[in-house]
Amino acid sequence: VSEWVTVGRADDVPLLEGRSARYGEARIAVFRLAGGWAAIDHACPHAGGPLSDGIVADSCVICPLHNRRFDLATGEQVGGTDRVTTYEVRERDGLLEVRPAVEVLLDEAA
Amino acid sequence: MPFEDMTDRPRVLIVGGGIAGQAVCEQLAPRAQVTLACGEPRLPYDRVSLGRLLAGETPDALQLRPEDWYSDRGVDVRLGTWIAALELDAGTALTGNGELLHYDRVVLCTGSDALVPPMEGADSPGVCVFRGPEDCERIVEAAAGSRRAAVIGGGLLGLEAAYQLATMGVPVSVVHLMGRLMERQLDGAAAELLAPAIEALGVEVLLEHATEAVLADEATGAVRGLRFASGTELDCDLVVVAVGIRPQVGLARATGLDVERGIVVDDRMVTSHPRVLAVGECAQHRGIVHGIVAPIHDQAAVAARTALGDDALYEGSVPSAKLKVMGIELVTAGAAEGERAVVVADERDGTYRKLVLHEGRAAGAVLLGDTRGSELLLDAIRTAREVADPLGLLQEASQATAAELPDTAQVCNCNGVCKGEIVQAIRHGELGSTQEVVAVTRAGAGCGSCKPVVSELLAIERGGAVEEATYLCPCRKQTREELAGIVRAEGLESVSELSASCGAGRDCGACKPGLAYLVSEVCGNRHREERHARFINDRVHANIQNDGTFSVVPRMRGGVTSADELRRIADVVDKYEIPLVKVTGGQRIDLLGVRKEQLPAVWEELGMPSGHAYAKAVRTVKTCVGTDFCRFGLGDSMKLGIELESAMEGLYTPHKVKSAVSGCPRNCAESYVKDIGVVAVEGGWEVYIGGAAGGSVRKGDLLAKVDTPEDAKRLTLAFLQHYREQAEYLERTYGYVERVGLEAIQAAVLDPTEQAALLERFRIAKSAADPDPWQERHAPAVPKQFAELDTESEPVVVGPPVGAAL
């Protein structure tokens, strides 16, 4: 399991908004939801739109360029076949820490 | 002609150009050589929507297919052609014009006539039926001078006719023989809730009234009232009879076919003669004559396959009906009563949802006041789905979105289109607007009541990228009016409060900017601003570009600038290495490719206010030079344009508003094609609204001609406020003007009292609007408003602008 990496301050992400951050070589988008945190790839797989600038609902975000919508829990496009990587986020002492979400593969479970 | 060589195609004569004839034609052409004989002098039209003719539309608007649709498919359409006789063994038909037509198969789609019950005086000139465009024309004509109208018949058709008459401003009574309205579709409880809802529209409901006679003036023959079996009378000068239909079976009978109430057909839709089929209201299948549209499509599909020599069986339809009366939602399907039924009702709101079961299977539904999930329930009824938990199914339906409907669910009952067909058409045809989907699939082309579902399917397929107004929150099926009602009733001040109260905006979030506008408008801009509900453009006050950078357009009122401003713009472009500077169509200068982090510093050094070019707001007032320099100028267009822009800027609107003022009718500022356009003419000013010259091109309508620039300004602002209050979110003025009509808008903004009230509300909204959101460079609304977690916005250098002389 990967280590937690600090990506920024929790206070810099307002409720139901997103901000982008650097995570190693990648850019991710971190969102503050009513029930906690979510993080996904920053670039929309369609045309690279900045997902951190999207409109956020209870559990999804809409890309500001062409309105592709992604489930923040699964990373899957709603009403489509694209998907983005999801990350786990936790808040420690006012800082946001991120690591890749653990994917449970069916083969492993079997 | 691509079909001429296909001589082995069967020749099929369709008798009757109604919805049934068209439905058969759709299924057959071009696989058969089709001749479509229409008795009426017009191409097939959507009789289901006849009420729209009473609302002022022309019959062309109801036409089902354009003329070239028929020629493209090699359909031989004969308008105004009655079939006088059929020689079945010879395979010929004699037309009323004496022409002989040849065929292999005949499909009778002769439809029905309006049933006029026997009563004294039924043939008086003031008695109309509600069946065809000519009838509507008569009704509209008679309604114009009518003091009171009576509609005989409290079924679907009668209620729709009565509603249209009431809408025309005619006091109207519905006279119904039975003890409850729509007794064929409704149970007693629903009918009892429907009656007061109908009465709330200004329609008097008289139940258990058997009309005995139409009373007419002996001298003139004019209708003066109705007399009932009870001996009581009703004063009225217009009578519309809408009690039912009588199948047109004359030709079938004369040809010797088996006829009972309708033309008897078997499960293949074949009559007693193997060469002849019958479809629609003239046909009687298993003892049933269907008088509503939905079964016609099922029958037409089977008839077409039979005519082409395929095997297909029609085993009956579940009748379903939708009442097309504004403000009353009513859908029924199958049986209204049965061995088991569950009901969820709210007596206060007048909503009633009932699911009827037969032997444990869905058999019927009545949905009044709340028709959510009707498609899901209809599908369950059509497929006689086994239902273990009927209350659970009702509950599931009330929360079902279009995404959850099975592909087999019929979305459009008028044209018989299933969800699966719509989704396929959107995917394969890459359709992007509801209008296109309607045009391609025909779903929504009838009564239009399924259009919200069509839009929803499109939004799902397109990932929400449909800029269309119907439901403001499509996920929760809430309209703008409903949501505004909630905001007012509960005194809400923010989108979060609205979401918490009714769920709007929580599911997909796409409607949040619309909700934000709604809340701000209802609260006269004294709402609590929440940035998460705004599109990114309105969070950073700049227009997002395809690479994630932004464009910056400073305010330049009336398109008038100065050397000083131009110099500062040039310096900013140099200093921040802005990749593109472009003059816009709205007489502004656009700086493109600015990074989010640069915005505050760029604004500071421009030293000009926001031009709101990123917002659904008043964008620009374009002007010509007018009397200042132009030798043709009649009015000072620059002065008025600049004043108007100052008055309107900073106010958000349902969609962007482009405006112009021209100093003479040469119209160099293009006022005719703006949302609001003002033109100086000899002796005054003309104000145009609803013009467009973008994706749509439309010349604006003349709202009024006024005497002075002050009058023009008042009128413009009154219209702007009216549009702000009344239009759907994302509805441009041209859509709004076309939807509600110029006259309604004139009535609202030209009346002195109304105008004064609009201007007062405008003043209130304007006084609380933020005139320059770019000031947030000094006081960001939220942390890192112009930066990311790992970046900082460039420092705002407060002081003399770059390039200014020291």
CA distance linking residue B95 with residue B37, whole number of Å: 9
pLDDT of residue A103: 55
Q: B505, A30: Cβ pair inside 8 Å?
A: no
pLDDT of residue B195: 93
A72 in contact with B at a CB cutoff of 8 Å?
no
Give DSSP secondary structure letters for B588-628: -EEEEEE-GGGHHHHHHHHT--B--TTSSBEEEEEE--GGG
CA distance linking residue B9 with residue B61, whole number of Å: 33
Q: A53, B536: Cβ pair inside 8 Å?
A: yes
- Between residues 9 and 68 of chain A, which touch chain B (CB distance below 8 Å)? 9, 11-17, 19-22, 30, 47-50, 52-58, 60-62, 64-68
Q: B508, A78: Cβ pair inside 8 Å?
A: yes
Nearest to B162 by CA among B51, B328, B321, B62: B51
Task: State the nearest Cα–Cα gap between A105 and chain B, in angstroms.
Answer: 27
Give yes or no for residue B231 having a pLDDT over 80. Answer: yes
In chain B, the percentage of residues whose pLDDT exceeds 90 is 65
Q: What mean pLDDT is predicted for residues B332-348?
A: 90
Nearest to B720 by CA among B647, B640, B615: B647
In chain B, the percentage of residues whose pLDDT exceeds 70 is 97
* Three-class DSSP category at B211: strand
Which segment of B66-75, B328-337, B441-450 scores lowest on mean pLDDT? B441-450
Give yes or no for residue B2 having a pLDDT over 60. Answer: no
Question: Which residues does chain A have within 8 Å of residue B463's beta carbon, measured at their own beta carbons?
Answer: 62, 66-69, 77-80
Mean pLDDT of chain B: 90
Nearest to B524 by CA among B241, B261, B762: B762
Q: Around A72, how many Cα atoms within 13 Å sit in the side-chain half-sphere?
A: 33
Question: Which residues does chain B have within 8 Å of residue A67's beta carbon, measured at their own beta carbons?
Answer: 462-465, 510
Q: B546, A47: Cβ pair inside 8 Å?
A: yes
Nearest to B719 by CA among B693, B691, B750: B750
Question: Which residues does chain A have within 8 Å of residue B510's beta carbon, measured at their own beta carbons?
Answer: 55, 57, 62, 67, 69
Chain B interface test: which of A11, A17, A31, A59 (most B C-beta within 10 Å) = A17
pLDDT of residue B464: 59
Give yes or no for residue B454 having a pLDDT over 90. Answer: no
Alpha helices, DSSP H only, in B169-315? 188-199, 250-255, 294-307
Question: Could you tell me if B766 and B650 are in contact, meaning their C-beta atoms sit under 8 angstroms apart?
Answer: yes
pLDDT interval class at B799 (50, 70, 90) = low
Question: Which residues does chain A have within 8 Å of residue B599's beta carbon, measured at their own beta carbons?
Answer: none
Give DSSP secondary structure letters for B58-91: -GGGGBSS-HHHHHHTT-EEETT--EEEEETTTT
* Three-class DSSP category at B102: strand
Give yes or no for residue B803 having a pLDDT over 90. Answer: no
Task: State the nearest Cα–Cα gap between A110 and chain B, in angstroms.
Answer: 31
CA distance linking residue B542 with residue B590, whole number of Å: 11
Kindly give, in sequence order, each residue whose CB lies less than 8 Å from that of residue B720, ignoring residues fewer than 6 positions away.
B618, B648, B651, B653, B657, B676, B762
pLDDT interval class at B466 (50, 70, 90) = low
pLDDT of residue B776: 95
Q: A7, B463: Cβ pair inside 8 Å?
A: no
Nearest to A57 by CA among A80, A79, A41, A73: A73
Which segment of B337-351, B705-719, B780-794 scores lowest on mean pLDDT? B337-351
Question: Which residues does chain B have within 8 Å of residue A58's beta carbon, measured at their own beta carbons?
Answer: 506-507, 509
Give yes or no for residue B769 having a pLDDT over 50. Answer: yes
CA distance linking residue A52 with residue A96, whole number of Å: 15
pLDDT of residue B51: 81
Q: Who among A17, A21, A64 is closest to B544 (CB)?
A: A64
Question: Could you tell me if B522 and B488 are in contact, meaning their C-beta atoms sit under 8 angstroms apart?
Answer: yes
Q: What mean pLDDT is predicted for residues B651-661?
A: 96
CA distance linking residue A51 with residue A29, whole number of Å: 7
Which residues of B make CB contacts under 8 Å with A?
403, 460-465, 505-510, 512-513, 531-533, 535-536, 539, 544, 546-548, 782-784, 788-790
* Three-class DSSP category at B753: helix
CA angle at B191 for the pair B198 and B242, rounded to the nearest 5°:
65
Q: A69, B546: Cβ pair inside 8 Å?
A: no
CA distance linking residue B249 with residue B251, whole number of Å: 6
Q: What mean pLDDT is predicted for residues B4-29?
A: 86
Chain A interface test: which of B423, B461, B789, B790 (most A C-beta within 10 Å) = B789
Task: State the nearest Cα–Cα gap between B465 and chain A, in angstroms.
Answer: 5
Angle between helices B742-750 and B752-767 (to 10 degrees): 80
Give yes or no for residue B635 having a pLDDT over 50. Answer: yes
Task: State the nearest Cα–Cα gap between B534 and chain A, in angstroms.
Answer: 7
Give yes or no for residue B180 having a pLDDT over 70. Answer: yes
Q: What mean pLDDT is predicted for residues B312-331?
A: 85
Chain B interface test: which of A53, A56, A60, A82 (most B C-beta within 10 Å) = A53
Q: Who among B507, B510, B788 is closest to A58 (CB)?
A: B507
What is the DSSP code (8-state) at residue B794? P
Kindly give, in sequence order, each residue whose CB lies less than 8 Å from that of residue A93, ignoring residues fewer than 6 positions away.
none
pLDDT of residue B800: 54
Give per-residue pLDDT as tens, B531-542. Answer: 999 999 999 999
Give yes or no for residue B350 having a pLDDT over 60. Answer: yes
From the number of C-beta atoms within 10 Å of its C-beta (0-12, 13-18, 19+), residue B420 rates as: middle
pLDDT of residue B341: 93
Could you identify the residue written with the tokens 């391609």? Answer: B440
Q: What mean pLDDT is predicted for residues A30-44?
A: 95
pLDDT of residue B426: 86
Question: Which residues does chain A have within 8 Å of residue B507's beta carbon, measured at their own beta carbons?
Answer: 57-58
φ/ψ (deg, to 5) at B432: -120, -10
pLDDT of residue B64: 87
Question: Pairing mode, if any, of strands B701-706 and B684-689?
Answer: antiparallel
Question: Which residues does chain B have within 8 Å of residue A60's beta carbon, measured at their own beta carbons?
Answer: 508-509
pLDDT interval class at B59 (50, 70, 90) = confident
CA distance linking residue A14 with residue B531, whole number of Å: 9
pLDDT interval class at B456 (50, 70, 90) = confident
pLDDT of residue B7: 58
Which segment of B378-392, B565-579, B667-681 scores lowest on mean pLDDT? B378-392
Task: State the nearest Cα–Cα gap between A12 and chain B, in angstroms.
Answer: 5
Partners of B348 in the β-ladder: none
CA distance linking residue B428 with residue B425, whole number of Å: 5
pLDDT of residue B504: 94
pLDDT interval class at B804 (50, 70, 90) = very low
Give yes or no for residue B1 having a pLDDT over 90. Answer: no
Give yes or no for residue A33 having a pLDDT over 80. Answer: yes
CA distance linking residue B55 with residue B167, whole number of Å: 8
Q: Who among A12, A13, A69 is closest to B464 (CB)?
A: A69
Chain A interface test: which of B405, B494, B508 (most A C-beta within 10 Å) = B508
- Complex confidence, ipTM: 0.94
Q: What mean pLDDT is predicted for residues A50-75?
A: 94
Q: What mean pLDDT is predicted for residues A35-61?
A: 95
Dihedral, CA atoms, B267, B268, B274, B278, nearest 10 degrees?
Answer: 90
Q: A9, B547: Cβ pair inside 8 Å?
A: no
Could you identify the residue written with the tokens 């009757």? Answer: B16
Which segment of B346-350, B586-590, B715-719 scores lowest on mean pLDDT? B346-350
Q: B535, A55: Cβ pair inside 8 Å?
A: yes
Chain A interface test: which of B788, B790, B791, B793 (most A C-beta within 10 Å) = B788
Q: B510, A79: Cβ pair inside 8 Å?
A: no
pLDDT of residue B492: 93
CA distance linking residue B447 with residue B730, whole number of Å: 23
Task: State the nearest Cα–Cα gap between B777 and chain A, in angstroms.
Answer: 17
- Comparing B480 with B589, the larger pLDDT belongs to B589
Q: B463, A67: Cβ pair inside 8 Å?
A: yes
Question: Which residues does chain A have within 8 Å of residue B506's beta carbon, measured at their own beta carbons?
Answer: 57-58
Q: What mean pLDDT is predicted for residues B726-754?
A: 91
Question: Pairing mode, if any, of strands B351-358 and B361-368?
Answer: antiparallel
Q: What mean pLDDT is predicted for residues B203-231?
A: 91
Give yes or no for residue B797 having a pLDDT over 80. Answer: no
CA distance linking residue B547 with residue B463, whole number of Å: 20
CA distance linking residue B420 with residue B431, whole number of Å: 15
Give per-residue pLDDT as tens, B106-146. Answer: 999 999 999 888 889 888 888 999 988 889 989 998 898 89
Size of interface A-B (CB pairs under 8 A): 103
Residue in B closest to A50 by C-alpha: B548
Q: Who among A20, A55, A65 is closest to B510 (CB)?
A: A55
Which residue type occupies B625?
V
Nearest to B657 by CA among B671, B641, B674, B670: B674
